[in-house]
Structure 1
Amino acid sequence: MVVENHKLPKVSMTLTIDNSPIVEGDKAGVSSLTGDMLGTGTVEISKDDFNEKVDYLGASIWYGSQSAGANSLSKYFPEILELLADGAINPVFSQEEFDKKKTQLIEGVKSGEKNVAVIQRRVSSALAFGLDHPYGEFISEESINNVQLNDVITFYNTYFKPENAYLVIVGDVDGKATKKLVKEYFSDWKAEKAPQYAYSAPKDVQYSQINFIDMPNAVQSEIEVTNMVDLKMSDPDYHAALIANHILGGSFSSYLNMNLREKHGFTYGARSSLKTNTHNASSFTASTSVRNAVTDSAVVEFFKEIKRIRTEKVSEKDLANAKAKYLGNFVLALENPSTVARYALNIETKDLPKDFYKTYLEKINAVTAQDVQRVANKYFKADNARVVIAGKGSEVASKLEATGIPMLYFDTYAFPVEKPNYEQNVPEGVTVQSVLDSYLNAIGGKDKVAGLNSIQTTYTTSFNGGSLEIIEKRTSDNYAQIINMNGNPMMSVLINDQETIIKQGPNTVPVSPEMINDLQNAVGVFPELKLLSNQSVTLAGIAKVEGKDTYQIDVPGEVITTSYFYDVESGLKLKEQSITSMSGQSQTNEAFLFDYKEFDGIKLPSLKKASIGGMPVENTLSEALINIEFTAEDFK
């Protein structure tokens, strides 16, 4: 399909293979690896030469397991189209590249294991569709390790076929010349068809229920209300369903957003969507992220608004606004040539009538308030909704149970579990003082630690192909953390008796008075020495860290809340966690501490596992200096 547009000298190309979804089973991840390896060299050109040529032409090319695409200036269109085709139909799958991509995929999966939103989406899909459905299965470290290079080659040879392939080219091109080029460059693609599969429609739950995943590290709850629907774009209800969803949760002024955000201030946004699918997998979903304290209230309000649109006729104003929004978006979208191509592709792949988009505005305008209420009752199933929540169970579970909505518990892999024991009591006599004393004694003795003047540690790791160095300098009144990437300053935090400075590279970042005050909690040869006299520090209870019971000590702050976790048995610190809350958003940073070793009579963790930008990193202690002499310049 070619859409000529000569306003700008550029071209975009998209190759889509319209196969049915595929169950990957115990080798889930093989499709991802296939997509990652496409474009890493061809029979005719090496990976480096391929990438160098694309870069030289100022273009971009990408590949998926059953797709590909490119963008370029129109004068380089023939060369880029040739490269796109070569990478798609003449790939080379090397063992070296496979091993590299496999390692990267495993690291990506590991980085999501503590991410509350990632876990919530994974479990929600698994529960809705089932673990044996292509939309319900998920990639794990185990399933990736089951994949071998030959599996990738087999997947490509089986599914990367031209029978259901659509090549869409949009931009400053000539239609006839383009057709000639496509025939030339894709002529070697053997005409074969990939196997196609059919799936029965997943069933909704028999009654509305909460499916809860306990995430002890969660600072907010991820909530999703969902049910399956029997809806396709070609169905008569489609346009009315779009309007109904828009009014319920598809816009800023929707019922859900006006309630949860504007009226109650629970969240920065609540939305809903209707996803249509040609493989019996259409669904309705409403979701948001809220503070732990209002998780139960948010669930109640979700059901309130869903029932409202089912039982109350929408106002003429809301109906008119929804129509105006859709009509405006439709008209604006038509100004983009890529939209025309996408509409044409939809007609081909989604079994739509040829006049579907010609009659689109007419059908949107024809939707009535009665239609909205009818489809809301049909597709927003208030009595058969699955509410999937990932959150901190010790803070939210009892309140959720009090809503009266039946509650079931699941682990992070969507398997049912018993309700966790949130009532694990701290033994009598255990206090903040005793926990901190136990830690100080465990690392070398409280008196010895208190007598230290300074300490400097250097942790090193590799990240994104470079070397990362984290240096910490500590005295009783000063603190410095310097992060270097390949020897160059990346970030630093400097605290002395006169000022607090945060730098990103050479640039100084503004620091609020509240954050400056909170950062003082990090100062000290060992922060625990100051925490002993901090009256705001609390013993939050017992928490699991890497399968071990730990005492959780919380250090509250206006911007930064810090938690430390100390092994019940050994007294050693196993985890550090900081939660930074600004402008209604929260960011959690965690470091897990392992393998304590002794330096001049002081035990320090020789390994810290953390994450940077969502990617897991292992920091190894390369140097520890006790009672080193610092100057004032070390903290400026």
Structure 2
Amino acid sequence: MKRQVLLAMALCAPTTLATAQVKLPPYTREALPNGTVIYLLPRTGLPLVSFRVLVKGGAESEPASLAGLSAVTAELLRRGTAGHTAAQFSEDLDGLGGTFFAGTDEQSTSITAEFLQKDFDRGIALVSEAALHPAFPEDEVRKALSRRLDGLRSMKDNPGGAINSYYRSFFFGSTHPYGHVPDEASLDHIRRDDILAYHKRMYVGRNLIVIVAGDFDPAAAKARAAETFGAAPAGTAYAWMADQAPTRNTSPKVLLIDKPDATQTYFIIAQPGVRRATPDRVALMLVNTLFGGRFTSLLNEELRVKTGLTYGASSRVEMARLTGGLYISTYTKTETTEKAIDMALDILKRLQEKGITAEQLASAKAYTKGTYPPERLQTVDEIAQVLGEMELFGLGRDEVDQLFARVDAVTLDQANDAIKRYYRTGNLTFVLLGNASKIRDVAKKYGPQVVERTARQPGWAM
């Protein structure tokens, strides 16, 4: 649950949006002897305190045959600890009126919790107990894996939810960590011993980032956080993988997933993109805003507003630790599949050939400066997330404090150069999910060979 604590535009003192510069509020950072990094972000206003614990690694750190291991481990943290059964943990959490969530992404596990200010000590004790001393009871392990298998089957009945997993498996491939998508086989291979070993290896001081934000006494919070998380074994720091950029195709690739009862086609058109720390990230953020990152984007204007081919079309530049994809994503009625794909490709071609105008660039800059603060810095939870990202990706506070200056500094030539280098039109990867009997010939149009599978088959694309 998000609680409104501050408006980001109040963090600075601008008189107009054009001159505004967002800045992070004061915080402290300290590395404990065991390697744990502690951030303290005190903000008065509401009697609440938020905890965010990050564990480096995420999906990147999983063995290829055990995709989903980090997520299962995260789910089980609160389902039995050294001092609580799963039911007791929930009862204590509810009794405090607190919240607790855990999940994973490409490069980390994230634990977030929120409590009333008066319950700081009891809250941090619960969070640390779950993070550092889970019991992983065998019956809870079995239930968690069963739930995930049921969820996977349900996802395959939901094209909008499933297509991203097919895309990641097909686009990144079996040798890339982002292509290791949890499936029936990988979940079936996970055992309690695997979870115990993963937790012992990854949940150690040298992999921990702890962010405390909200209304608290800084000196007392510092001492309590150091006492609690400083007791974690130092362990061995996770060794980040070297970047593995997706290989650019030498010819177009097409995956067709057959869902015979589908009345719509979901599709993704992808190509290699960038990593989070790329120097081009601000220029690409602006370009993507125009291309498919807002309601009035080029893609959405054509595919939804003008032609009604879809309820929404978007593009995304993935910004993870390793190089990700840059892709177009939308859906349309089965009978308009070819028209929608061709229109998306035509918009991409126009962008590549003509670039953007000075007026468009100015619009993207104004949009970014207007939406970034409320989307990323409005609550202490959001600011804590930004601090965590800075630590994970090796970025400084200038990532926020100088963001608007970097936005203003992007020239039209730089934006159009980024378009030329990243928004290419040839040898793309296409993923189509729909009624194959009606769109099979359409799929053949976009590549020399179509890989076809059914939505009911185990696994994803590989």
Name the TM-score, length of structure 2 as normaliser.
0.84
2:97 paired with 1:54: no
1:29 aligns with 2:68: yes
Equivalent position of 2:175 in the other structure: 132
Instruction: Select 1:170's aligned residue among 210, 213, 217.
Output: 213
Contact 1:86 1:185 (C-alpha < 8 Å) held by counterparts: no
Counterparts in 2 of 1:143 and 1:238: CA distance versus 1, 3 Å: closer
Conserved 8 A contact 1:255-1:305: yes
Residue 231 and residue 88 in structure 1: after superposition, are their counterparts in 2 closer, same or farther (change >3 A)?
closer
**For 1:574-611, what per-residue CA distance to the aligned partner results, in whole angstroms no more than 9, with x for missing partners?**
xxxxxxxxxxxxxxxxxxxxxxxxxxxxxxxxxxxxxx
Corresponding residue SS for 1:365: helix
* CA gap 1:64/1:312 in 2 versus in 1, 3 angstroms: closer
Partner letter of residue 4 of structure 1? P
Rounded Cα–Cα distance in structure 1 between residues aligned with 2:260 and 2:451: 14
Q: Report how far residue 300 of structure 1 moved.
A: 0.7
Q: Tell me, yes or no, if structure 1 residue 409 matches structure 2 residue 427.
A: no
Asked whether the equivalents of residues 38 and 64 of structure 1 are also in contact (C-alpha less than 8 Å), the reply is: no
Counterpart amino acid of residue 151 in structure 1: D
Shift of 1:415: 5.1
- The answer to whether the Cα contact below 8 Å between 1:34 and 1:64 also exists between their aligned partners in 2 is no
Residue aligning to 1:4? 42
1:516-554: CA deviation from partner (whole Å, max 9, x where unpaired): xxxxxxxxxxxxxxxxxxxxxxxxxxxxxxxxxxxxxxx
Q: Deviations over 1:66-123 (max 9, x none)?
A: 3322111111122111111111111112112222222222211222233323442222
* Residues 422-437 of structure 1 mapped to structure 2, 5 A cutoff: none
User: Residue 316 of structure 1: which of 326, 351, 358 is its match?
Assistant: 358
Any conservation in 1 of the 2:62–2:68 contact (CA below 8 Å)? no
Q: What are the ranges of 5 or more consecutive residues in structure 1 without an aligned counterpart?
A: 417-636
Select 1:205's aligned residue among 249, 253, 261: 249
For the 8 Å contact 1:212–1:407, the answer to whether it is kept is no
Task: Give, as a single letter, the amino acid of the residue that structure 2 aligns with 1:6.
Answer: T
> Is 1:43 paired with 2:82?
yes
- Distance in 1, matches of 2:364 and 2:95, equals 46
Counterpart of 1:216 in 2: which secondary structure?
coil
Pick from 349, 369, 375: which aligns with 1:307? 349
Equivalent residue for 1:347? 390
Larger Rg: 1
- Are residues 1:368 and 2:411 paired? yes
Q: Tell me if the contact between 1:234 and 1:352 (Cα under 8 Å) persists in the aligned partners.
A: no
Q: Deviations over 1:13-46 (max 9, x none)?
A: 1100122612433333332321222112222233
Structure 1 position 225 matched with structure 2 position 263: no
Residues 375, 291 of structure 1: alpha-carbon distance in 2 compared, 3 angstrom cutoff: same
Deviation at 1:308, TM superposition (A): 1.1
Match of 1:215 in 2: 259
Q: State how far apart, in whole Å, the 2-side matches of 1:225 and 1:173 are.
A: 48
- What do you get for the CA RMSD once the two structures are aligned? 2.1
Partners of 1:331 and 1:116 in 2: CA distance: 33
Shift of 1:223: 0.8
**How much has 1:249 moved relative to structure 2?**
0.6
2:51 maps to: 13
Give the match for residue 8 of structure 2: none
Q: CA deviation at 1:392?
A: 0.7
Task: State the alpha-carbon separation in 1 of the partners of residues 188 and 143 from structure 2.
Answer: 13
Q: Identify the match of residue 152 of structure 1 among 184, 195, 209.
A: 195
Provide the identity percentage.
25
Q: Distance in 1 between matches of 2:230 and 2:326?
A: 42
- Distance, in Å, in 1 between the alignment partners of 2:276 and 2:230 is 35
SS of equivalent residue, structure 2 residue 216:
coil
> Could you say which residue in structure 2 is the equivalent of 1:262?
305
* Contact 2:252/2:446 (8 A) holds in 1: no
Structure having the larger proportion of residues in helix: 2
Q: Secondary structure at the match of 1:288?
A: strand
Q: CA separation of 1:267/1:381 partners in 2, compared to 1, >3 Å: closer, same or farther?
A: same
User: Looking at both structures, which has the greater relative contact order when contacts are Cα pairs under 8 Å and sequence separation is at least 6?
Assistant: 2
Amino acid at match of 1:217: D
Confirm or deny: 8 A CA contact 1:234 1:351 kept in the other structure: no
SS at structure 1 position matched to 2:415: helix
The alpha carbon displacement at 1:335 in A equals: 4.5
Where 1:356 maps in the other structure, the secondary structure is: helix
Residues 597-612 of structure 1 aligned to structure 2 (within 5 Å) = none
Aligned equivalents of 1:241, 1:396: Cα separation in 2: 33
Residue 226 of structure 1 contacts residue 385 of structure 1 at CA under 8 Å; is this kept in 2?
yes
Structure 1 residues 99 and 404, CA gap change in structure 2 (3 angstroms): closer
